[in-house]
Amino acid sequence: MPETAPPRIVTVDLAGRSYEIRIGRGLLAEAGSAISAVSAARAVLVVTDTHVAGYHLPVLERALDAAGIRRHALILPPGEATKSWPQLERLVEAILAARLERGDLVIALGGGVIGDLAGFAAAIARRGMRFVQVPTTLLAQVDSSVGGKTGINSPHGKNLVGAFHQPALVLADTALLDTLSPREMRAGYAELAKYGLIDRPDFFEWLEQGAWRGIFSGGPEREEAIAIACTAKAAIVARDETETGDRALLNLGHTFGHALEALTGYDGTRLVHGEGVAIGMAMAHRFSQNLGLCAQEVPSRVAAHLEAVGLPTRLADVPGGIGTPEAILDVIRQDKKVARGTLTFILTRGIGQSFIARDVPAEKVLAFLAAEAG
Ligand code: GLY
């Protein structure tokens, strides 16, 4: 896609809080005018991490200067540990110290950690400020920057403290993905493929027939795929913003995936979130087949595609091992998506035919895990 191609625009339709996701190459350099078009903010605080700041902060700062917007920046350490009470306090105090008013903006420049933290700080500073997401990873561009889930981790678990707070704008500059490591791209790709597996079989087929290569290499398939993923997510968020129903579909692969992340101590050298989701999605399809819900070729097709991209699909793919089936089930039981002790899974009847299954018997999960571990 040439640098000048117009951005693709996906709208998240939420009555008085609707907003645009703008997707395209080079959007960071035009961020000032895009922000001015949706906000009368005269000042902003950009929150980012040391890693992303080195690559992208100067471009954003120049864009804000060109639009005459007063700017401040807070640069935090990279990594999951930044989604914490101490860094939240630091960020909220920085917002207040910068004398931002309620009509001013917080800008999240980074991946899911920065986006979740910045969104939550914006939700509580001055009883609620608006914020803009500028996601710099594929995972953040197709998932975490869209839909308004914000928050931090607690010693009791991930994402246990937070708020639903929708951004005013999402600017997904797809050129920023050129600086990601192949592993980080693959991890984001798992979340991208998820939308095909939830309810867009044509999208999954397009990906597996070769579009995935263009997504990785920066071809026009990248913008196309991100726009389709964001459209899919926007549709789900518009009908169930606070996850009382259908939004749980977005957790396809996450029940198993979260358990694996917890059992590896959230050690990103062993398993990153997207890799856990890839294994979890492959397992959810095998579990569905094991329960007689879908044909045998469905899980094979899912695993074959994820493996073609270079993603893990089995418990045995986690370096250093993962513990017993009982240990995995124990972590699944503690997951916040377990309601009143019953197990909820996203299962499927075929490619793109996922559904929410409540009351899944624990003994069936255990038997499946034993077979997977064997
Ligand atoms: N990442 C899942 C959701 O936004 O609901």
The rounded distance, in Å, linking the Cα atoms of 333 and 341 is 7
At residue 211, the pLDDT reads 98
Which residue is it, tokens 């700041």? 53
Cα of 72 vs centre of ligand 1, distance in Å, is 29
β-bridge mates for residue 75, sequence order: 48
Distance of alpha carbon 193 from alpha carbon 197, whole angstroms = 7
Which pLDDT score is estimated for 74? 98
243 is catalytic: yes
* Ligand 1 site, residue 143, Cβ cutoff 6 A: yes
What are residue 11's DSSP bridge partners?
20
Give the pLDDT of residue 41. Answer: 96
Domain boundary among 154, 179, 204: 179
Task: Report the nearest atom of ligand 1 relative to the CA of 143.
Answer: 1
Q: What distance in angstroms lies between residue 113's CA and the mean position of ligand 1's atoms?
A: 14
Q: Are residues 290 and 174 in the same domain?
A: no
Assess whether 98 and 165 both reside in one domain: yes
pLDDT for position 2: 46
Q: Is the CB of 116 under 6 A from ligand 1?
A: no
358 lies in the same domain as 225: yes
Alpha-carbon distance values, 217 to 75, 343, 368 (Å) = 29, 39, 37
- 307 as an active site residue: the answer is no
Sort 33 into a burial class: Cβ within 10 Å, 0-12 / 13-18 / 19+. Answer: exposed
Give the mutation target among 145, 247, 335, 337 for probing the ligand 1 site: most ligand atoms within 8 A of CB: 247
Of 247, 270, 285, 286, which one is the catalytic site residue? 247
Tens of pLDDT, residue by residue, the chain (374 residues): 445 578 999 999 999 999 999 999 999 999 999 999 999 999 999 999 999 999 999 999 999 999 999 999 999 999 999 999 999 999 999 999 999 998 999 999 999 999 999 999 999 999 999 999 999 999 999 999 999 999 999 988 889 999 999 999 999 999 999 999 999 999 999 999 999 999 999 999 999 999 999 999 999 999 999 999 999 999 999 999 999 999 999 999 999 999 999 999 989 999 999 999 999 999 999 999 999 999 999 999 999 999 999 999 999 999 998 989 999 999 998 875 555 667 999 999 999 999 999 989 999 999 999 999 98
Clarify whether residues 222 and 101 are in a common domain: no
Centre of ligand 1 to C-alpha 22, Å, is 19
Could you tell me the distance, in angstroms and rounded to a whole number, from the CA of residue 247 to the centre of ligand 1? 7
Residue 95 shares a structural domain with residue 60: yes
The pLDDT assigned to 341 comes to 61
How many whole angstroms from 322 Cα to the centroid of ligand 1?
25
Q: Whose CA is nearest to atom 3 of ligand 1?
A: 250
Asked which of 179, 213, 248 is the last residue of a domain, the reply is 179
Residue 233 CA, closest ligand 1 atom number: 4
pLDDT at residue 143 in the model: 97
State if residue 250 touches ligand 1 by the CB under 6 angstroms criterion.
yes
Predicted local distance difference test score (pLDDT) of residue 340: 62
- Predicted pLDDT of residue 156: 83
141 and 232 share a domain?
no
Q: Is 328 among the domain residues?
A: yes
Domain count, the chain: 2
For residue 339, the model assigns a pLDDT of 58
Judge residue 130's burial from the number of C-beta atoms within 10 Å of its C-beta, 0-12 exposed, 13-18 middle, 19 or more buried. Answer: buried
Spatial contact of 344 and 248, defined as CB atoms under 8 Å apart:
yes
For 274, the domain range is 184-373
In ligand 1, the atom with minimum distance to the C-alpha of 191 is: 1
| pLDDT number for residue 251 | 96
Known catalytic residue: 191?
yes
Please write down the HEC assignment for all residues of the chain.
Answer: CCCCCCCEEEEECCHHHCEEEEEECCCHHHHHHHHHHHCCCCEEEEEEEHHHHHHHHHHHHHHHHHCCCEEEEEEECCCHHHCCHHHHHHHHHHHHHCCCCCCCEEEEEECHHHHHHHHHHHHHHHHCCEEEEEECCHHHHHHHCCCCEEEEEECCEEEEEEEECCCCEEEEEHHHHHHCCHHHHHHHHHHHHHHHHHHCHHHHHHHHHHHHHHHHHCCCHHHHHHHHHHHHHHHHHHHCCCCCCHHHHHHCCHHHHHHHHHHCCCCCCCCCHHHHHHHHHHHHHHHHHHCCCCCCHHHHHHHHHHHHHCCCCCHHHCCCCCCCHHHHHHHHHHCCCCECCEEEEEEECCCCCEEEEEEECHHHHHHHHHHHHC
Q: For this structure, is 254 an active site residue?
A: yes
Q: Which residue in 254, 270, 285, 305 is the catalytic one?
A: 254
Of 124, 150, 179, the one marking the end of a domain is: 179
Q: For residue 185, what are its two tokens?
A: 């791209």
Q: Whose CA is nearest to atom 2 of ligand 1?
A: 250
CATH number, domain of 295, equals: 1.20.1090.10
Q: What CA–CA distance (Å, rounded) separates 137 from 152?
A: 19
Q: Sort 296 into a burial class: Cβ within 10 Å, 0-12 / 13-18 / 19+.
A: exposed
Please say if 251 is a catalytic residue.
yes
- On whether both 100 and 154 belong to a single domain, the answer is yes
Residue 144: Cβ-neighbour burial (10 angstroms; 0-12, 13-18, 19+): buried
Q: Find the 30 Cα to ligand 1 centroid distance in Å.
A: 28
Instruction: Give the Cα separation of 169 and 302 in Å (integer).
Output: 33
Ligand 1 contacts CB of residue 149 (under 6 A): yes
Nearest by Cα to 111 from 28, 177, 25: 177
